[in-house]
Structure 1
């Protein structure tokens, strides 16, 4: 076994004045502070990406490629200049590349598998030193001469899921350039600072935005859709697992036909069905759904590593006299309005809770009833000289859990309710809309309840899309409940 850490110091010029958080970063920062008030770097909420690399890796070229990618992207050289309510970020002119190479090829197969499982756990739930940095790390694990595992973990405030794709694509392109195939990466047309400046100009103070969210989000939720357990099932705050569900071909066809009838999308139809289910389970006629948008509105921004997603919170009422088509239309309209009025999180929070500044940390989990989102688009395999790179899931296809991470629930104290809200079942639809996952904390919520929920959701989608024009009270009259 060989272990080697490499620190590459890229040199760049530019303005290194401290930056306030981008509007999209505010959301995650407040959430991390609520999870870990004393040290948000220990909130264990990263963005992680795992790739299998087939072929023989030229290690010196790989290290030089990391150098080039770090020089290209400001986010990879960022640290926090100040923490607290209004933190500041600074981009260093020189920054270490947190790269570790680990050779496990000489170990017996069972020992190699055990070591990989341990490494994956650490990359899925790492902690970061926010003031010292770096706020990301990359590992290359040699499993055999022509089989490697690449892991990348980012502190979520500096990176979203889309950025993982950008990082790996740029890394492979630069790797090829280092071997004489193509040109090295140049400077970006748009820097992280440029994006922040544009976002803040676009989301300038506007009383109309404040009034929109005040009108649509208040009163704030007071009852949980998934009540936190009085007694946790286990001791692990990060026991995150995914329960897969799949729609049959007949349901997929019905969803597409329903979307076509109302000039909407399959995503909206599936979200509307889940909304009806949540209203039915809770006995409430109005719920707020939390979801997210890419937040990258130009080709230039799509090539920048950073956290740019924007959350949207449509509030939709469901009346038994409504048809399912009515619900889809209402949700579609709520999404369109939410995107049009998208604010920075801090401004939204002050609009719906006037004492926000006195109550901080107070995060976005307080403003919605349940969470529903789409998985990123499936990424094609990448090619580099002598290499094939494909995205993999830790623990196997569709699995998020790679074993327990030490985090005693007793240490959470009065923050247990926040961690419980983090661990509630959330829906992540596959990009193809043929199924998805209910992701939840298995030490906080009963797997049997989640399995029943998935079955009820599939049945609800089938029932509603079979007669989308009929009143809900008639459509759901004979539908099973659990």
Structure 2
């Protein structure tokens, strides 16, 4: 009796002897930006601990995480035969601990964040590693700030949530003298990379590529938004400017109820408001016919297999979400179109954007890792959940995330981010100062907020009427 073959969808452990292949996403970075040191290519995770933190125990927890997840110990040796990854035996560097207690009390936290930001932007050497740094700053007896800095080539946003959750679970268990109980990891990232190489070929590759070829018909894989500020930006070096507005809990409940009534999610509703706002502005730059093809840039988790649910690594992929509509489309119908665009992209997310562009032979391959000035003016859109209340925090400690003041390099042009928080939704609009002015950006964000309110309040309103109503026209 013959042994049945394993499903090609099943990710299984691969031998660690010999050359270990990199993922297609890692390959793009290594081919086009191995030596480019952009802040955007790093992920610093800042956590403020309030309470009696045991720093020695915290270091032990971080070491356990490092041994548990090979992605925290990966590096990429220079190999004339091709791109490979290597797994370092340990974390290489100890936890760095400093104090700012000699600083004036009202300036200590800012000083701590500045020190962590300075450490976070230090270059990584991809060929030798380590690509995972840890630093703790003691602000006072009851306040510490931890920063875990990782190179994006090894980590994605869902992995960050896993690391935070497991860090807290480890600390709680070890502080209580219990053996930690973490989810079983059937595979590690090198196993995923090897599986991806074997899976994405032949008929599977052609089927997935067929969908994306259709999506990119007439547009680039990194699509231009078509948005122009007639007044232009300001002279001088490009800066990343952030504006934000807040949607309170009552409005958030209404938006969630509206999404539920359509059988969709928050990201589809906010995405429809974003695309409607972009449509209105594209009327002035590309004309009526082209305005209704709105393509945004965003991210997909690409965790379609149960083996990857607790896996730390760079599995996510950027993607282009293209929706076609016109001014007569109702807001509720637009939400449906945006939702289907997202759903279809998720069904085809196993092929990373990097491989799509390589298969297409597109000149944008590697553009995200090169000179930011050469990037097309795309609009990036994502809805994220950074709420710490979803984590079981260590007893006796209160932990919150903090953003470090690192000088992010402006790429593309525009970014809309929705942050779901316990008390509502924060809408953030980021723009390049050399391409867009403050007045234009403020008006865009305000218009987006109004469209979201009008559209969810009156779903049968047609897209063009959202702006007619706002302007007081019949």
Give the TM-score, by structure 2 length: 0.80
Cα offsets for 1:322-369 (capped at 9, x unmatched) = 222222222211111111122222331145x4355xx75334997994
Q: Does the aligned pair in 2 maintain the 1:371–1:426 contact within 8 Å? A: yes
After superposition, the Cα gap between the structure-2 partners of 1:362 and 1:185, relative to the gap in structure 1 and judged at 3 Å, is same
Tell me: CA distance 1:94–1:52, structure 2 relative to 1, closer, same or farther (3 Å): closer
2:328 is the counterpart of 1:318: no
Residue pairs, 1:165-204, within 5 angstroms:
165-176=161-172, 178-179=174-175, 181-184=177-180, 188-204=185-201
* Counterpart in the other structure of 1:469: 460
Q: Is the 8 A contact 1:42 1:128 kept in 2?
A: no
Deviating more after overlay: 427-436 vs 250-259 = 250-259
Superposed counterparts of 1:257-296, under 5 Å: 257-283=257-283, 284-296=291-303
Aligned position for 1:212: 211
The 5 A counterparts of 1:93-112 are 93-110=89-106, 112=108
Structure 1 residue 443: Cα displacement: 6.5
Q: In the alignment, is the contact (CA less than 8 A) between 2:381 and 2:417 conserved in 1?
A: yes
1:447 aligns with 2:452: no
Structure 2 distance, partners of 1:470, 1:148, is 51
Aligned twin of 1:413 = none
Indicate whether 1:428 and 2:417 are aligned.
yes
Structure 1, 158-167 or 40-49: larger mean CA deviation:
40-49
For 2:347, the equivalent position in structure 1 comes to 340
Shift of 1:146: 2.0
Instruction: Determine helix, strand or coil for the equivalent of 1:431.
Output: strand
Q: Is the 8 A contact 1:224 1:369 kept in 2?
A: yes
Which structure 2 residue ranges, 5 or more long, are not aligned? 1-14, 284-290
Which residues of 2 match residues 13-32 of structure 1 at below 5 A?
15=16, 17-25=18-26, 29=29
1:397 corresponds in structure 2 to none
Q: If the length of structure 1 is used for normalisation, what is the TM-score?
A: 0.79
Distance 2:79 2:243 in 1: 36
Change (3 A) 1:119 1:289: same
Question: How far, CA to CA, are the matches of 2:178 and 2:69 in structure 1?
Answer: 19
- Paired with 2:247 and 2:172, the residues of 1 have a C-alpha distance of 41
Gaps of 5+ in 1: 1-13, 395-399, 406-418
CA deviations on 1:118-168 (whole Å, 9 max, x unpaired) are: 224325544211112111211111111221111111111111122223223
User: What CA distance in whole angstroms lies between the structure 2 residues aligned with 1:43 and 1:301?
Assistant: 27
The alpha-carbon distance between structure 1 residues 247 and 360, as it changes in their structure 2 partners (threshold 3 A), is: closer
Matching residue of 1:3: none
Shift of 1:204: 3.9
What is the CA distance between 1:232 and its match in structure 2? 5.3
Aligned length: 437
Of 65-74 and 300-309, more deviation after overlay is shown by 300-309
Aligned to 2:397: 388
Q: Secondary structure at the match of 2:77?
A: strand
TM-superposed CA distance for 1:264, in Å, is 1.7
RMSD (CA atoms): 3.5
Match of 1:81 among 65, 77, 80: 77
CA contact (8 A) 2:358 2:365 kept: no
Equivalent residue number for residue 309 of structure 2: 302
Structure 1 segment 411-426 matched on structure 2, within 5 A: 420-422=410-412, 424-426=413-415
Moved more, 305-314 or 433-442: 433-442
In 2 relative to 1, CA 130–167 (structure 1 residues): closer, same or farther, beyond 3 Å? same
Q: Cα distance, 1:231 vs. partner?
A: 6.9
